[in-house]
Structure 1
């Protein structure tokens, strides 16, 4: 089974994906970890690396190509990234979108990165706008389109364990043979 976990920064993607992979005995691949590693290799902050990615589209395209190839070649996988649901497309059995209000997400990021909240709010807004523009430009993806997701969870409403329980229940009750509703991912230009 291939499960994707997507959502904006601070929504709880990494926490849920790791817990889900552990509970199911699946591999966990994180696009965020790959992106952060690439930024570190270049000595850039995430904001600087996002700005660089605005001018060098190959950064995003390389990451997204790897995500798509991983989805195509893997089974028993939890694939986590902002675009995991879109990149995994027809290979995904269950696509999950996590979200929370901006102030909640920014507070989580500020705690995690030990940064001032006002700075994180500004960075998070700038990062989201930058990413949305690039996704639209590169692939024709509207990141606000939730129609491809099977399950959407507001992680501000439940703690991490409850969110895991919700998604785990959906994953464990999934039956590919009786699935009549896989939502196709259409209109994406996979031009890497």
Structure 2
């Protein structure tokens, strides 16, 4: 009997630790790592944006991209499609907050952290102030409404 390919999805809001945990698990178990953020960055590049700078998502251009994304459901459909294609290949750890609702197979882990802790992590990661990170997270989550 063939062994079923492994699919693990690490989920949570921005700054919850998804990427850190997913990358460590992928390295430890020799699995591929694929991020929803990476898929979204690729889409942003395709649309003419330049999302490669540190802190880009919280920048005016990044927030503009996210506003355009909010108005056009095709953005998220393209990202979700790519994530599902990667999951179908198996032996992967996905880093995404949407996949627990879309992914039929695999193991899903939801990470929680306080808004303050997440803002501290985002600030450190992106080289911005905690206050700016708090504002960006609140704005992003107000639009997300999960």
TM over 0.5: yes
Q: Structure 1 runs of 4+ off > 6 angstroms?
A: none
**Alignment deviations for residues 62-89 of structure 1 (CA, whole Å, 9 cap, x no partner):** 1011112222x2221111111122222x
SS of residue matched to 1:42? coil
SS of residue matched to 2:41? helix
- 1:42 and 2:62 correspond: no
Q: Which has the higher contact order (CA 8 A, sep 6+)?
A: 2
**Alignment deviations for residues 85-120 of structure 1 (CA, whole Å, 9 cap, x no partner):** 2222x221x110011000000011011111121111
Give, in whole Å, the separation in 2 of the partners of 1:131 and 1:36. 18
Give 2:3's aligned residue. Answer: none
**Contact 2:16-2:118 at 8 Å conserved across structures:** yes
Give, in whole Å, the separation in 2 of the partners of 1:69 and 1:87. 12
TM-score by length of 2: 0.81
Give 2:91's aligned residue. Answer: 76
Give 2:17's aligned residue. Answer: 12
- Out of 109, 115, 127, which is 2:128 matched to? 115
SS of residue matched to 2:9? strand
**Contact 2:10-2:96 at 8 Å conserved across structures:** yes
Correspondences of 1:58-137 after superposition (within 5 Å): 58-71=74-87, 73-88=88-103, 90-92=104-106, 94-132=107-145
**Alignment deviations for residues 108-167 of structure 1 (CA, whole Å, 9 cap, x no partner):** 1011111121111111011122233xxxxxxxxxx4xxxxxxxxxxxxxxxxxxxxxxxx
**Contact 1:21-1:27 at 8 Å conserved across structures:** yes
**Contact 2:119-2:134 at 8 Å conserved across structures:** yes
Once the two structures are overlaid, the 10-residue window that deviates more, 75-84 or 30-39, is 30-39
TM-score by length of 1: 0.63
Unaligned runs of at least 5 residues, structure 2: 1-5, 58-62
**Contact 2:39-2:82 at 8 Å conserved across structures:** no
**Alignment deviations for residues 33-78 of structure 1 (CA, whole Å, 9 cap, x no partner):** 221343354246422221111111111111011112222x222111
Question: RMSD of aligned C-alpha atoms?
Answer: 1.6
**Count of aligned positions:** 130
